[in-house]
Amino acid sequence: MRILVTGGAGFLGSHLCDRLVREGHEVVCVDNLFTGQKANIAHLLAHPNFEFVRHDVIDPFKFEVDQIYNLACPASPPHYQYNPIKTIKTSVMGAINCLGLAKRVRARILQASTSEVYGDPTVHPQPEAYWGNVNPIGRRSCYDEGKRCAETLCFDYHRENKVDIRVVRIFNTYGPRMHPHDGRVVSNFIVQALQGQDLTVYGDGQQTRSFCYVDDLIEGFVRFMAQTETVGPMNLGNPGEFTMLELAELTIKLVGGRSKIVHRPLPSDDPKQRQPDIGLARKVLGWEPRVPLEEGLGRTIAYFRGRV
């Protein structure tokens, strides 16, 4: 197939491009390189089945493709809060442009949504049927509400225009090619530990997250796009739950050195718990994460060594 990947030079996008090229597909990678990095796809540039186009999804585009993966959007708080209006434009206008293209060329489209649509959840773990507890006017709202609106657009295009959609809600994912300064907890801890700094834990460190290794997530993407039983939304993430303190201690153990843990005030609207209910993915895709946190963290630390 000929497949368009928006945000294809980003962390997740570049791993998806790798997988699709490896499977023999023609891949068109579109990215404006705001948070994506050309280094992530440098090894693919000479491949005959790979094409890189520098373009912003806010502006219209036309490609003849069979499938679309819409992954374009800054996904870490420092990046999406840097220009919040641009962030929400990317989510909303980018989705409109991708869905319009999917309608025109009759392509199946996967929209990368996020666990952030659940906000600071009052239901735990979070099933797809949960509508969320989101602040619509906070610092994180440009991302949370942008992604929620993109989901709305997907289902309206599906109902009104019969566009073949797949909506995936991504929970915390980590692995090689994470941006070292993206402000996410895994990269923060690894960079701090490798540089011999103390690890910054916000609040008391008892807030929890679930961490899915990138290869597991990409496997879920591909399986979700291949099946026809459901359009979603579907949670993809690791149901194993860890506190920030546990993650910090494991990072120090794997990196070595003398880093200690220091505490800072909790940011506003920071969720206290985040854990996916992946019952739907297990049932429909036969999917669940396979890479344990310690193993995946070890691979990620190996990638960061020499880069920070």
| CATH numbers and ranges of domains, the chain | 2-173+212-239+275-290 (3.40.50.720)
Nearest to 161 by CA among 238, 101, 221, 217: 101
Rounded to an integer, the average pLDDT of 240-260 is 94
* pLDDT reading at 266 higher than 90: no
% of the chain with per-residue pLDDT over 70? 99
Instruction: Tell me the C-alpha distance between 103 and 158, whole Å.
Output: 9
pLDDT in tens, 167-185: 999 999 999 999 888 888 9
* pLDDT reading at 246 higher than 80: yes
* pLDDT reading at 271 higher than 80: no
* pLDDT reading at 308 higher than 70: yes
* Cis preceding linkage at 233, omega within 30: yes
What pLDDT is recorded for position 76? 72
Residues 173 and 212: beta-carbon distance below 8 Å: yes
* pLDDT reading at 209 higher than 80: yes
What pLDDT is recorded for position 158? 98
Average pLDDT, the chain: 94
* Candidate from 42-51, 58-67, 118-127, 159-168 with smallest mean pLDDT: 118-127
* pLDDT reading at 269 higher than 70: no
* pLDDT reading at 44 higher than 70: yes
* Residue 182 or residue 247, greater confidence: 247
What pLDDT is recorded for position 270? 67
pLDDT in tens, 141-159: 999 999 999 999 999 999 9
Band of the pLDDT at 212, cuts 50, 70, 90? very high
| 85: region left, alpha or beta (phi > 0 left; psi from -120 to 50 alpha) | alpha
- Among all residues, which ones are annotated catalytic? 143
pLDDT in tens, 89-99: 999 999 999 99
